[in-house]
Amino acid sequence: MPRSKSSHRWLREHFADPYVKKAQADGYRSRAAYKLEELVGRDRLLKPGMVVVDLGAAPGGWSQFVRQALGDSGTVVAMDILEMPPIAGVTFIHGDFRADDAVSRLDAALGERAVDLVLSDMAPNMSGMDAVDQPRAMYLAELARDFAQDHLAPGGAFLIKLFQGEGFDAYVQDLKRRYTRVVNRKPAASRRRSNEVYALAQGKR
């Protein structure tokens, strides 16, 4: 099947993207690593010895960045229903984070350690129709929020990608009831025409 005009445009933009070229030069698996780099640097999210869980981690750009930033300290667990090539120092759990089996494997990987930071850069497969895509994106966001609620230590932080649209404002207001500080960020590596933003919730109540 021939590619659509929008697919060709996306490919041209992708390969001309300076962050894509930089990721290739720096050895990162995805340009998304630079979004996280800016978010982490601005709000000083990572500290030595932290326990971090990365939801929907494949292809692994965020987990890779976190592992490098923490050095030899801390614990990084990546979870995804997709396969992900190994990253040294990162425990990968292949499975759905909603499933009991995956959660059991997470608990085994963590031992008695509480989670300090939950990350989610997840997005559904986009159809291009807002009426379909936005509810799917918000559903994933709600699942990630509930996971963070169940696994974060008191005072922990949650960083999630959201798409502005129906349900966005209510979701952010709900985070404000659960955390002491909630801010929205649009990192430079986020494409300007994208309606994605990142909500950072700190200080789990």
**pLDDT tens digit string along 62-86?**
999 999 999 999 999 999 999 999 9
Q: What pLDDT, on the 0 to 100 scale, is given for residue 10?
A: 43
Position 3 pLDDT exceeds 70: no
Q: What pLDDT, on the 0 to 100 scale, is given for residue 12?
A: 56
Helix (H, G, I), strand (E, B) or coil at 23: helix
Identity (one letter) of the amino acid at 38? E
Residue 22: pLDDT band by 50, 70, 90 thresholds? confident
CATH classification of the domain holding 140: 3.40.50.150
User: Which of these, 96, 169, 177, lies nearest to 134 by C-alpha position?
Assistant: 169
| 96 annotated to a ligand binding site | yes
| 62 annotated to a ligand binding site | yes
> Mean of the pLDDT values across residues 134-150?
97
Q: What pLDDT, on the 0 to 100 scale, is given for residue 150?
A: 95
User: Which of these, 202, 157, 198, lies nearest to 36 by C-alpha position?
Assistant: 198
What is d(CA 54, CA 6) in angstroms, rounded to the nearest whole number? Answer: 30
Q: What pLDDT, on the 0 to 100 scale, is given for residue 159?
A: 98
Residue 34: pLDDT band by 50, 70, 90 thresholds? very high
- Full domain range(s) for residue 137: 5-204
Close Cβ partners of 113 (under 8 Å, ≥ 6 residues apart) = 51, 75
Residue 128: pLDDT band by 50, 70, 90 thresholds? confident
Close Cβ partners of 88 (under 8 Å, ≥ 6 residues apart) = 67
Split into its structural domains, the chain has a count of 1
Close Cβ partners of 80 (under 8 Å, ≥ 6 residues apart) = 55, 56, 57, 58, 92, 94
Identity (one letter) of the amino acid at 30? S
Q: What pLDDT, on the 0 to 100 scale, is given for residue 4?
A: 53
The mean predicted confidence, pLDDT, of the chain is 91
Point out the residues that are catalytic. 161
| 116 annotated to a ligand binding site | no
